[in-house]
Structure 1
Amino acid sequence: MPSTLPAAAGSATGDAADGAAVAVAYGYHRERDTDMNLRGLKSTVAASALALAALTVSAHAETTLTVYTAVEAEDLKRYAETFNADHPDIKINWVRDSTGVVTAKLLAEKNNPQADVVWGLAATSLLLLKSEGMLEPYAPKGVEKLDKKFVDKSNPPTWTGMDAWVAAVCFNTVEAGKLGLPAPTSWKDLTKPVYKGHVIMPNPNSSGTGFLDVSSWLQLFGEAEGWKYMDALHENIARYTHSGSKPCKLAGAGEIPIGISFAFRGAKEKANGAPIEVIVPSEGIGWDMEATAIIAGTSKLDAAKTLVDWTISKKANEMYNTGYAVVAYPGVAKPVPNFPDNIIEKMIDNDFEFAANNRKAILEEWQKRYDSKSEAK
Structure 2
Amino acid sequence: MLTMKAVRTLLTAATLTLLGGAASAETITVYTSYEEDEAAAFLAEAKKALPDIDVKMLRLSTGDLAARIIAESGNPQHDVLWGFAVTSMVDPRISSTLEPYQPKGVEAIAERFRDKDGKWFAVTGYMAAFCVNKDRLAAKGLPMPTSWADLTDPKFKGEVVMPNPASSGTGYIQVDALLQMMGEEKGWAFLEKLDKNVAQYIKSGSKPCNAASAGEYAVGASFELRAIKNIEEGYPIAMVIASEGAGNELEANALVATSKHKDAAKRFLDWTVSKDAANSYYNWKAIVTVPGGTMPERFVKAGLPADVSKVLFPVDFAAAASERPRIIETWQKKFER
Class of the TM-score when normalised by the shorter of the 2 chains: 0.7 to 0.9
- Does the CA contact (< 8 Å) of 1:169 and 1:258 recur in 2? yes
Q: Which has the larger radius of gyration?
A: 1
3-state secondary structure, aligned to 2:116: coil
Match of 2:302 in 1: 338
The Cα RMSD (Å) is 3.5
Does residue 1:63 correspond to 2:24, yes or no?
no
Does residue 1:144 correspond to 2:107, yes or no?
yes
Match of 1:324 in 2: 285
Structure 1 residue 316: Cα displacement:
0.4
1:214 to 155, 175, 182: 175
Structure 1 residue 55: Cα displacement:
5.4
Residue identity in the other structure for 2:277: A
Distance 1:119 1:54 in 2: 30
- Does the CA contact (< 8 Å) of 2:97 and 2:257 recur in 1? yes
Structure 1 residues 267 and 50: CA distance shift in structure 2, 3 A: closer
Residue identity in the other structure for 2:82: W
1:167-182 to 2 correspondence within 5 Å? 167-177=128-138, 182=143
Distance 1:207 1:348 in 2: 19
1:42-191 to 2 correspondence within 5 Å? 56-59=20-23, 63=27, 65-69=29-33, 71-88=34-51, 89-97=53-61, 99-111=62-74, 113-129=76-92, 132-154=95-117, 157-177=118-138, 182-191=143-152
Structure 1 residue 192: Cα displacement:
4.7
Distance 1:67 1:281 in 2: 33
Match of 2:5 in 1: none
1:240 to 195, 202, 207: 202
Match of 1:306 in 2: 267
Distance 1:197 1:101 in 2: 35
3-state secondary structure, aligned to 2:258: coil
3-state secondary structure, aligned to 1:224: helix
3-state secondary structure, aligned to 2:130: strand
Residue identity in the other structure for 2:290: Y
Structure 1 residues 252 and 117: CA distance shift in structure 2, 3 A: farther
- Does the CA contact (< 8 Å) of 2:30 and 2:79 recur in 1? yes
- Does the CA contact (< 8 Å) of 2:79 and 2:255 recur in 1? yes
- Does the CA contact (< 8 Å) of 2:145 and 2:151 recur in 1? yes
- Does the CA contact (< 8 Å) of 2:148 and 2:244 recur in 1? yes
Residue identity in the other structure for 2:212: A
Residue identity in the other structure for 1:352: F
Runs of 5+ unmatched residues, structure 1: 1-42
- Does the CA contact (< 8 Å) of 2:73 and 2:94 recur in 1? no
TM score, norm. by length of structure 2: 0.78
- Does the CA contact (< 8 Å) of 1:325 and 1:333 recur in 2? no
- Does the CA contact (< 8 Å) of 1:134 and 1:295 recur in 2? yes
Residue identity in the other structure for 2:200: A
Structure 1 residue 159: Cα displacement:
0.8
3-state secondary structure, aligned to 1:238: strand
- Does the CA contact (< 8 Å) of 1:263 and 1:339 recur in 2? no
1:188-267 to 2 correspondence within 5 Å? 188-192=149-153, 194-235=155-196, 236-242=198-204, 244-254=205-215, 256-267=217-228
- Does the CA contact (< 8 Å) of 1:100 and 1:207 recur in 2? no
For residues 2-51 of structure 1, what are the alpha-carbon distances to aligned partners after superposition, in whole Å with 9 as ceiling and x for unaligned? xxxxxxxxxxxxxxxxxxxxxxxxxxxxxxxxxxxxxxxxx9xxx89976
- Does the CA contact (< 8 Å) of 1:100 and 1:206 recur in 2? no
Of structures 1 and 2, the one scoring higher in RCO (CA 8 A, sep 6+) is 2
Does residue 1:270 correspond to 2:270, yes or no?
no
Structure 1 residue 145: Cα displacement:
3.2
Distance 1:158 1:65 in 2: 18
Q: Percent identity at matched positions?
A: 38
Distance 1:208 1:134 in 2: 24
Structure 1 residue 78: Cα displacement:
1.4
Structure 1 residue 206: Cα displacement:
4.7
Distance 2:186 2:275 in 1: 42
Structure 1 residue 358: Cα displacement:
2.8
TM score, norm. by length of structure 1: 0.71
Residue identity in the other structure for 2:108: K
- Does the CA contact (< 8 Å) of 1:151 and 1:161 recur in 2? yes
Structure 1 residue 362: Cα displacement:
2.7
Structure 1 residues 67 and 185: CA distance shift in structure 2, 3 A: same
Distance 1:183 1:249 in 2: 18
Structure 1 residue 312: Cα displacement:
1.0
Does residue 1:352 correspond to 2:317, yes or no?
yes
Runs of 5+ unmatched residues, structure 2: 1-8
Structure 1 residues 179 and 296: CA distance shift in structure 2, 3 A: farther
Structure 1 residues 295 and 367: CA distance shift in structure 2, 3 A: farther
